Amino acid sequence: MAGVISKEDLAAYRRWSVDSFDRKLPTPKQASPSAPEKPEAVEAELVTTMGLPTVDDIQQINETARAEGYQAGFEEGRQAGEATLSNTITSELERFSTLIGNLQVSLAHMDQTIAEQVLDLALEVASQVIRSTIAVRNEALLPVIREAIAALPLHHSHVLLHLNPLDASVVREQIGDQLAQTGTQIIDDTEIATGGCLIKAGTSEIDATIETRWKRVLDAIGSEPREWLSSP
């Protein structure tokens, strides 16, 4: 039947009385205070807990930093050394190139100097030969006179032939009559060197002096006239 409590179920309940509130509860035991931990232990615990570096770690860091610094310094020094060596080599190569260039210029100048000296010697020999030829063979002037007169413009009836007095006597003896027939007058002129002549006909003039002829030779070979060549 609903709502009826059996005996078995009733045994599970205890009778309640008022004095249940008067019963004293047991006093809880107070824990005894623990001794404070030592600073070294706290420091070790903090190091372990927070992960701070130890003395060994610091030494390892110092050694690593020193090694890296040494390597960086070594690399920097190596690069600086290579740069210095490269600059030195470049400078020496430039200096060597300059020396080679100067040597080539000196050799070229030496060749030019030797060539000029050889030319001067050849001209000196030629000058001496001309002097000897003129002194020995006065008649060598005759072909020069004929060519000079032939170079004059036509229709000149009065021609003046200026000769050194030594040459004038020889020319008069050799072809004096022929020159007289062409209206050519021989003029003794001490300013004319032996071996040359100067012909004047009106406004025309033929300079066949030794100085002028020699200068033409020098101009032909591209040489400057020397003072000692003016009167061979």
Question: What residue type is 187 in one-letter code?
Answer: I
Nearest to 219 by CA among 228, 229, 231, 232: 229
Other beta carbons less than 10 A from residue 188's beta carbon = 14
pLDDT tier for residue 51 given thresholds of 50, 70 and 90:
low
**Residues facing residue 2 across a β-bridge:** none
What interhelical angle do 141-150 and 165-181 show, nearest 10?
50
Per-residue model confidence as pLDDT tens digits over 207-221: 988 888 778 777 776
Other beta carbons less than 10 A from residue 37's beta carbon = 9
Per-residue model confidence as pLDDT tens digits over 11-23: 555 555 555 555 5
Report in angstroms the alpha-carbon separations of 202 from 34, 144, 160.
Answer: 152, 20, 9
**What phi and psi values does residue 81 have, to the nearest 5 degrees?**
-65, -45
Report the side by side order of strands in the sheet with 197-201.
184-188, 159-163, 197-201, 204-208
Per-residue model confidence as pLDDT tens digits over 69-117: 777 776 777 777 777 767 777 777 777 677 777 766 766 666 666 666 6
